[in-house]
Amino acid sequence: MAKKYTQLSSYDRKYIFHMLNQRESLSSIALTLGRDIFGLRRVIQRNSSQWTKGNKGSYLNNCALSDSCRKRHVCSLCIFKGRPCRGCSSCNSNCMDLQMFLCAKLNKAHYVCNGCITRLTCKRSKIIYISSVAQEVSDSLHCSSREGHGYTQNELQRLESILVPLVKTSITIN
């Protein structure tokens, strides 16, 4: 008989967070929790958050060209008197030559920046798995999935007026 799925507990999420920070492999985390590795990967990806705060004393800059960029006065209210814009918090939203930087590490396991050795010095936005945030996201999804269909009475009547004649004439919906 197949094992019945149970939601991850708060303890499980804290364990995942701790092990990701320790750079533990997904397979060992899944084995310890008695979970499927693919399910664990989906949980991590679905419940991760984008961290948009910069490191102490620096701003986030998600442009792939930021290290070599020499542009100045990109925005109308420049506060960087003569310095390049790459250190400004408004640079990414105002520069027309922005080329978004996508970290290659996010495309392979762990799929998050937890445990990355360059996380503290990286000037890019980060994808972080935080157990408390993951628990809140999971709880809200769990509640919202039981609230009903989300259609208004008018929308339901409109759908019924379209679908009922089709079903009566044996036309499939697909």
137-171 tens-digit pLDDT: 877 776 665 666 777 888 888 888 888 888 888 76
The DSSP bridge partners found for residue 63 are 100
Distance CA 174, CA 160 (A): 16
Total structural domains within the chain = 1
Residue 121 has what pLDDT?
78
pLDDT at 63 over 90: no
Asked if residue 75 belongs to a domain, the reply is: no
pLDDT at 8 over 70: yes
Quote the tokens at residue 11. Answer: 């303890």
pTM recorded for the entire structure: 0.66
- Please state, rounded to an integer, the average pLDDT across all residues of the chain: 80
Alpha helix (H) residue ranges in 22-130: 26-33, 37-46, 91-94
Residue 12's pLDDT band, with cuts at 50, 70 and 90, is very high
Residue 4 has what pLDDT?
63
Asked if residue 163 belongs to a domain, the reply is: no
The DSSP symbol for 136 reads H
- Could you tell me the residue range of the domain that residue 131 belongs to? 8-51+109-148
Sequence letter at residue 125: S
Residue 1's pLDDT band, with cuts at 50, 70 and 90, is very low
Asked if residue 159 belongs to a domain, the reply is: no
Asked if residue 72 belongs to a domain, the reply is: no
Residue 32 has what pLDDT?
92
Asked if residue 131 belongs to a domain, the reply is: yes
Asked if residue 40 belongs to a domain, the reply is: yes
DSSP SS3 for 154: helix
Residue 58 has what pLDDT?
63
- Pairing mode of beta strands 126-128, 49-51: antiparallel
Highest mean pLDDT among 11-20, 60-69, 117-126, 128-137: 11-20
Asked if residue 31 belongs to a domain, the reply is: yes
Asked if residue 155 belongs to a domain, the reply is: no
pLDDT in tens, 110-124: 889 888 888 777 777
Residue 67 has what pLDDT?
76
Sign of the CA dihedral running 90, 128, 141, 138: negative
